[in-house]
Amino acid sequence: MKLVLASSSPRRLELLGRLGVTPDRIISPDIDETPLKGELPHDYAVRMAREKAAAVDRADDEILIAGDTIVAVGRRILGKAEDEAQQRKFLQLISGRRHHTMSSVCIIAADGTVRTKLSDSIIKFKRFQRSEIDTYIRSGEGLGKAGGYAIQGLAEAYVISISGSFSGIMGLPLYETRNLLISSGYPLDQNGA
């Protein structure tokens, strides 16, 4: 059974490796990631994973996996920080507040069955001082990341609490992914992952 990863994220590839899984092919889907008017964050995350999966061609003997991770404050979706000004705005918004990181995974089985799961984690950062935001932005770590930060890097030192899936916050919820792969017929090593 061959596996296709529909993602250009090095984090997702790394996380799949933690399950003992190496994709046979990696393809970056090209879709419009603009939220729909009034779309709730969890609906958006699920839709993005499904659309990414649907955007990639898959052979009959292949299982395809796609994912999407977003940060949300209330109903507001924080996408990938495109520049330092947007990253600063995101960090100021989540400073000292609880926010959600939603990570959706979609798998299309060899028989065409589509399965999707959503992991919703709650994170609370300390209240940032301006100098801490400046230092973090200078690191370059959060550019291009949902919410303007990468939990597995320097930002982890500012976390007061996490409730949920650390791997989901990183970009691929391993518990949900493992169960979806098994239910889709992907042969995971039963003695390991």
Residues contacting residue 51 through CB under 8 Å, at least 6 positions apart: 29, 31
End-to-end CA distance of the chain: 17
Rounded distance, CA 123 to CA 100, Å? 6
* Neighbour tally for 160: CB within 10 Å: 11
Please give the helix or strand (H or E) that residue 70 lies within, else none. Answer: strand 62-73
Copy the structure tokens of residue 114: 């589509």
| CA distance to 65, 144, 152, 180, per residue, from 50 (Å) | 9, 21, 25, 14
| CA distance to 26, 51, 109, per residue, from 114 (Å) | 19, 11, 7
Residues identified as active-site: 68
Copy the structure tokens of residue 166: 């650390």
